[in-house]
């Protein structure tokens, strides 16, 4: 009886790659601490001088954090510019800011998108209570929403509209949660409610995808290491992420649109989901 053929040995990663994976968590934590130590005091001073009405250095912090985490960011296209006259949130007012609509895969989306888009994020209110993470999010003027309290939806919509009208750009994740990385979840049209009172706001769909780890295409089996879903705790997942090695994140900026070009916000949500989902699948197919 012929003995079964031995299974081929998996090639070991190069020594440089193994060293990066082994030291990744330590380098990531050290880089994060260094960036925070330098940039947070500077941001606090600049905020004091400007009366706290504007964020100044979040993009630089996000860029430093992405580098510390071992993430290489590749962009396709360019973010839309602010435009139009400023004013209140009354009907017909053109916003000075841009509303960026993105899919949501991981906690790493924050530094990756923040490194390329000068904008504030919309996050669930619980994030504000996440210790140092929440404090940094508040410092960056994150807009918090209480998704479980429908009675405050109008108030939260007005807060986002006021920020846009004042010239601030906003990044919104309309899936309402992180996906598992296999697909883009349906968009909640209720999260587009701000367009009811600023229908001329510039809206730009954005796709984010994590396409390669150490030069190899990301497979379905690798996605749980990148996507942050369910009840997974943040810090253990972040430490494991930093130990992966070099991660390539890709961002595609799609053509901007205006809500006024669509019949209603559901049609707008469907359009944004379609272009983002198609682009995401194209990224993941390589």
Q: How confident is the model at residue 17 (pLDDT cuts 50, 70, 90)?
A: low
pLDDT at 13: 59
Weakest mean pLDDT among 30-34, 49-53, 126-130: 49-53
Which of 107, 80, 83 is CA-nearest to residue 93? 83
Give yes or no for a contact between 206 and 105, defined as CB atoms under 8 angstroms apart: no
State the pLDDT at residue 136: 87
pLDDT number for residue 184: 97
pLDDT digits (tens, 9 = 90+) for 61-94: 999 999 999 999 999 999 998 754 444 444 444 4
Average pLDDT over residues 55-60: 85
pLDDT for 139 beyond 50: yes
Query: Hunting for tokens 């490194």 — which residue is that?
Result: 115
> Which band of pLDDT confidence, cut at 50, 70 and 90, is reported for residue 20?
low
**What percent of the chain is predicted at pLDDT more than 90?**
52
pLDDT at 101 over 90: yes
pLDDT at residue 148, as a whole number: 64
For residue 157, what pLDDT is reported? 86
pLDDT at 39: 87
Q: How far apart are the two ends of the chain, measured CA to CA in Å?
A: 43
Instruction: Dump the DSSP string for the chain.
Output: -PPPPPPPPPPPPPHHHHHHHHHHHHHHHHHHHHHHHHHHHHHHHHHHHTTTS---SHHHHHHHHHHHTTEEEEEES-PPPP-S----SSTTPPPSSEEEEE----TTHHHHHHHH---EEEEEGGGGGSHHHHHHHHHTTPEEE-TT-GGGHHHHHHHHHHHHHTT--EEE-TTSS---SSSPPPP-GGGGGGGGT-TT-EEEEEEEEEEEETTEEPPTTTHHHH---TT--HHHHHHHHHTS--EEEEEEEPPPEEGGGSSSHHHHHHHHHHHHHHHHHHHHH-
24 pLDDT tier (thresholds 50, 70, 90): confident
- The model's confidence at residue 285, banded by pLDDT at 50, 70 and 90, is very high
Mean pLDDT, residues 177-193 = 92
So what's the pLDDT on residue 225?
Answer: 93
Length of the chain: 286
pLDDT of 91: 42
Instruction: Give CB contacts under 8 A, 24+ apart, made by 20-26.
Output: 20/70, 20/245, 20/246, 21/243, 21/244, 21/245, 22/243, 24/70, 24/242, 24/243, 24/244, 24/245, 25/239, 25/242, 25/243
Q: Are 226 and 181 in contact (CB under 8 A)?
A: yes
A 10 A CB-CB count for 59 gives 17
Q: Is 159 exposed, middle or buried (0-12, 13-18, 19+ CB in 10 A)?
A: middle
**What is the value of pTM for the model shown?**
0.85
Place 149 in a pLDDT band, splitting at 50, 70 and 90.
Answer: low
pLDDT digits (tens, 9 = 90+) for 252-283: 999 999 998 999 999 999 999 999 999 999 99
Q: Look at 5 and 89; give whichever has higher pLDDT.
A: 5
pLDDT reported for residue 108: 95
């Amino acid at each position: 009886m012929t003995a079964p053929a031995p299974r081929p040995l998996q090639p070991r990663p190069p020594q440089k790659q193994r060293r990066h994976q082994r030291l990744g968590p330590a380098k990531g934590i050290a880089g994060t601490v260094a960036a925070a130590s330098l940039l947070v005091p500077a941001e606090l001073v600049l905020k004091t001088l400007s009366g706290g009405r504007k964020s100044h250095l979040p993009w630089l912090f996000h860029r430093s954090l992405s580098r510390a985490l071992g993430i290489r960011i590749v962009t396709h296209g360019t973010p839309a510019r602010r435009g139009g006259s400023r004013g209140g949130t009354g009907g017909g007012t053109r916003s000075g800011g841009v509303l960026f609509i993105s899919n949501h895969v991981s906690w790493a989306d924050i530094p990756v998108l923040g490194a390329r888009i000068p904008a504030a994020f919309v996050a669930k209110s619980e994030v504000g209570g996440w210790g140092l993470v929440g404090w940094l999010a508040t410092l960056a003027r994150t807009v918090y929403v209480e998704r479980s309290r429908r009675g405050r939806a109008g108030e939260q919509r007005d807060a986002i509209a006021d920020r846009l009208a004042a010239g601030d750009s906003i990044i919104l994740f309309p899936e309402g949660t992180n996906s598992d990385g296999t697909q883009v979840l349906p968009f909640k049209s209720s999260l587009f409610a701000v367009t009811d009172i600023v229908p001329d706001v510039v809206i730009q769909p954005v796709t984010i995808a994590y396409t390669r780890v150490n030069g190899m295409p990301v497979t379905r089996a690798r996605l749980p290491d990148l996507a942050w879903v369910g009840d997974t705790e943040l810090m253990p997942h972040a430490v494991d992420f930093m130990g992966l090695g070099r991660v390539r994140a890709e961002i595609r900026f799609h053509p901007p649109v205006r809500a006024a070009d669509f019949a209603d916000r559901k049609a707008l949500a469907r359009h944004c989901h379609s272009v983002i989902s198609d682009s995401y699948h194209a990224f993941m197919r390589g």
